Amino acid sequence: MANLVLIRHGQSEWNAKSLWTGWTDIGLTERGREQARSAAEKIKDTTFDICFTSALKRAKETWGEISRVIGAKNVKTISDSALNERNYGDLTGKNKWEVEAQLGEGEFLKIRRSWDYPPPHGESLKDVYERVVPYYKSQILPELKMGKNVIVVAHGNSLRALVKLLENIPDDDISKLEIKLSEPYVYDLDKIGKVVSKEILSIGSEVE
């Protein structure tokens, strides 16, 4: 049996301003650091063998806060752009709620949460899935099959893609999944990597 913990980064400077962030490399706010530390308190009884993060600062900073709280500074850490947030294309840097007012709720929700509907010059969740899942299968899953405890610190959409795989969520239902900032998703996996249990550990954060 192995533990897999998924954690979205804490509040970033652009989350605080409700801006589409995507691939822009933005750091955490102090509130985001506090959220990361709150998440760490929820998982401090788990000993991790390896950590995977995206290549973006906000994910790395979140892991930095977590690792200090749980005493995991020396845990092997691998960062890769395969786990980066979705590219929001022409929407990058724009205020979400201003975009919603311009486009209308229906179009806004399709762009924000649907499976295969990219913003102009950006990625859909399907596009994100097609880079996250091969990376998971080639780099993360082998560690889990060896019985190692793994933590993945990444982003709302890269983690939505991974949860879709782990829980076999249909394309039409993935729009219902929202992952809150720094809220740990804890999975127990068997020796072939199949999920046998799941728990979400609330820290009272928001989706943003």
Q: Which positions are catalytic?
A: 9, 85
Beta-carbon contacts of residue 87 (< 8 Å; ≥ 6 apart): 22, 23, 122, 123, 127
The SS3 assignment for 198 reads strand
Beta-carbon contacts of residue 17 (< 8 Å; ≥ 6 apart): 95
Distance CA 188, CA 177 (A): 20
Q: 206: number of CA atoms within 13 Å, CB side?
A: 8
- 14, 50, 59: which is closest to 140 by C-alpha? 50
Give me the DSSP letters along 28-67. B-HHHHHHHHHHHHHHTTSPPSEEEE-SSHHHHHHHHHHH
